[in-house]
Chain A
Amino acid sequence: MLDRPISPSRRAYIGVMGLLCALSVLLVCALALFLIGYVLAAGLPNLSWELLTTKPSYLSDTIGILPDILNTIYIILAALLIVLPLGAGAAVYLTEYAANKRLVSVIEYAAETLSGIPSIIYGLVGMLVFTGVLGTSLLAGALTLVIMNLPTIMRTTQESLRTVPQSYREGAFGLGAGKWRVIRTVVLPGCADGIITGCILSVGRILGESAALLFTAGFAHALNGFFTGLASPGATLTVALYVYAKEQGEFGVAFAIAAILMLLTLAVNLTAALVGWYFRKRRAL
């Protein structure tokens, strides 16, 4: 029975579907290769030590992206510092405390809504809410990013909290620990992987963000320390890429930044994969 030949119509179906699958994957791969190749080919030749370590000068007509690199680091640090307690706390509330099912679904729906809002809307609201009081500044941009990344941190933390075995909690309760103590000593250490994964994903998202930052963080290229930097306007790498490509037509610099961003994205993805692998392995032990 197993050897019965497959009818021609089934054969055609299998052939067509298989072909479509193969074509689609090839197309996706070709696109990825083309984009990566194009950006690297246009960008890498323009990368230089001088570009990475100086600030732009109008008098000598040179471009350097050090301020933009620093701004990117500042805004990532500031945004993560604020979003971590908020997001992780919300996740702890949802998995450990919340008894009211309606409330849980409202919060989860809110988080899903947040992750569906496009960055241009975040940019507008950030401009209305934060730049009104903070002025156009990295801090205003960071706060906008906080709202954007809240759902990510929340979701990854929640996922890892769910993997903390219920028996751990019960054991700790059984030993007479209060709820807060259980959370502090058993639950929170268990969700470290979720928080780290969330951070990595957020870093990736912040690296690529432009629309939400243009109207909130501005696009100045001044070289500043951390706190002055947060209080003044500044361009992140992606915003600088936008400005150099669009305002000044400096495609060489723009593609150099694009190449850097692509390498960073690759690094972020790799780190995420490694971290995931490490925690899975540790959990399996």
Chain B
Amino acid sequence: MRSRKQLLETAVHGIFLMLGLVTVGCVLLITVYLVVSGIPAIRQIGLVPFLLGDTWESTAAQPSYGILPFILTSIYGTAGAILFGVPVGFFAAVYLAKLAPTQVKSIVEAAVSLLAGIPSVVYGLVGMLVLVPGTRALFHVPDGASLLAAIIVLSVMILPSIIKVSITALEAVPKEYEDASLALGATPIETYFRVSVPAARSGIAAAVVLGVGRAIGEAMAVMMVSGNAANMPSLFESVRFLTTAVSSEMSYSSGLQRQALFSIALVLFLFIMLINAVLNFFLKGQKEG
């Protein structure tokens, strides 16, 4: 009787252990699949020509598979989105976490959640109908589908995650810090920016890194506003990102072209893993205070 009960306990423990390991299994599965399907093309093309080649002509009679334009576009695009999105998100978060009256806060937070929930296709669609013609008219360029349009769409798209994570970090700052600062004669705004923000810096850094991850991984929206030509990045030129390189050619691809697309996905995945590692570092910093 007793041993049966023990057996049951062990079995249940085993089942839960397996469930716990599913996550690890999934990560391994994804990694293995991406590596296995990404390596062959890199081998055939050569790592250096693949990563540093500046021409991508996947279906030409003499195909060339250089993804440097995509890598640089992804980096520039993400940097641009951070440049626009982070300051706005940061100041909005400080206001919402510290200064806003409760009612204003809950309304704006609801709006931010709604922004987060809008499918990226909708961002792309609105971008295509409003932003692309707008860019063309405003800057007198022949065509508005460009790196700049993509940067603007991306900065709007990363706002919700930056705001939400920053608010959480700011709200976790112990009230005593702020009380002490206020008691010493600092005004509320000085307190929030000189005491609360430094105390929440790990969390805010995490928010920025999260934004970087979102921006570099976004595909559907930027595909509709960036023009998609495999040019070297330039603000008013049509450009192609790592993500859009994969998704735009995937459905028609075959042979080495298809394998090369998987290699691009592998490169993107490595970027994401790097970002995750950095993110994890900051989150740990936040937990430890």
Q: How large is the interface on B (under 10, 10 to 19, 20 to 34, 35 or more residues)?
A: 35 or more
B207 within 8 A of A: no
Interface 0/1 of B80-116, CB less than 8 Å to A: 0000000111111011100110000000101111110
For A81, the chain B residues whose CB sits under 8 A away are: none
Measured between beta carbons, the chain A residues less than 8 angstroms from B247 are 120, 123, 211, 214
Tell me if A18 and B26 are in contact (CB < 8 A).
Answer: no
A90 engages B20 (CB within 8 Å): yes
Interfacial chain A residues near B273, Cβ < 8 Å: 113
Q: Is A10 an interface residue (CB 8 A)?
A: yes
A6 touches B112 (CB 8 A): no
CB-CB contacts below 8 Å: A10-69 with B: 10, 13-14, 17-18, 20-25, 27-29, 31-33, 35-36, 38-39
Whether B202 is near chain A, meaning CB under 8 Å from some CB there, is no
Tell me the complex Cα distance, A214–B224, Å.
15
Q: Does B52 contact A (CB under 8 A)?
A: no
A275 at the interface (CB under 8 A from B): no
Contact A265 to B213, CB < 8 A, known contacts A35-B126, A120-B219? no
Contact indicator per residue, chain B 210-251, by CB within 8 Å of chain A (1) or not (0): 100110111110001000000000000000000100110011
Complex Cα gap A22–B90 (Å): 12
Tell me, rounded to whole Å, the shortest Cβ–Cβ distance linking A49 to chain B.
23
Closest to B214 in A: A118
Q: Please determine whether B92 and A125 come into contact, CB atoms closer than 8 angstroms.
A: no
Are B23 and A24 in touch, CB under 8 angstroms? no
Q: Mark B276-288, 1 if CB is under 8 A from A, else 0.
A: 1001100100000
Which B residues touch A107, using CB under 8 A? 20-21, 23-24
CA–CA, A196 to B280, complex, Å? 26
Q: Which of B111, B113, B120 contacts A210 (CB 8 A)?
A: B120
Residues in B neighbouring A226, C-beta threshold 8 A? none
Q: Would you give the shortest CB distance from A235 to chain B, in whole angstroms?
A: 12
Query: Is B180 part of the binding interface, using a Cβ–Cβ cutoff of 8 Å?
Result: no
- Contact size range, A: 35 or more
Judge whether A279 is part of the interface by a CB distance below 8 angstroms: no
Chain A residues in 8 Å Cβ range of B177? none
In the bound complex, do residue A109 and residue B280 qualify as a contact, i.e. CB atoms below 8 Å apart?
Answer: yes
The residue of chain B having its C-beta at the shortest distance from the C-beta of A89 within the complex is: B19
Alpha-carbon distance between A114 and B26 when the two chains are bound, in angstroms: 8
| Contact indicator B30/A117 (Cβ below 8 Å) | yes
The reply on A71 being an interface residue by CB < 8 A is no
Q: Give the docked Cα–Cα distance between A211 and B118 (Å).
A: 14
Tell me whether A231 is interfacial, beta carbon within 8 Å: no
The residues in A between 76 and 108 inclusive whose CB is less than 8 angstroms from any CB of B are 85-86, 89-90, 92-94, 96-98, 103, 106-107
B37 pairs with A208, CB closer than 8 A: no
> Is there contact, CB below 8 Å, between A24 and B92?
yes
Nearest CB of B to A15, in Å = 9
What residues on B are CB-neighbors of A150 within 8 Å?
22-23, 26
Interface residues of A (CB under 8 A from B): 1-2, 4, 6, 10, 13-14, 17-18, 20-25, 27-29, 31-33, 35-36, 38-39, 85-86, 89-90, 92-94, 96-98, 103, 106-107, 109-114, 116-125, 128-129, 147, 150-151, 154, 178-180, 183, 204, 207-211, 214-215, 238, 241-242, 245-246, 251, 254-255, 258, 261-262, 265-266, 268-269, 273
Q: List 16 A-B contacts (CB under 8 A).
A: A21-B92, A24-B89, A28-B92, A28-B115, A28-B163, A35-B123, A85-B19, A92-B16, A116-B279, A122-B30, A125-B30, A125-B34, A210-B121, A211-B220, A258-B122, A266-B117
Binding site for A on B (CB under 8 A): 5, 8-9, 12-13, 15-17, 19-24, 26-27, 29-30, 33-34, 37, 87-92, 94-96, 99-100, 108, 110-115, 117-123, 125-126, 129-130, 156, 159, 163, 185, 187, 189-190, 193, 210, 213-214, 216-220, 224, 243, 246-247, 250-251, 262, 265, 268-269, 272-273, 275-276, 279-280, 283
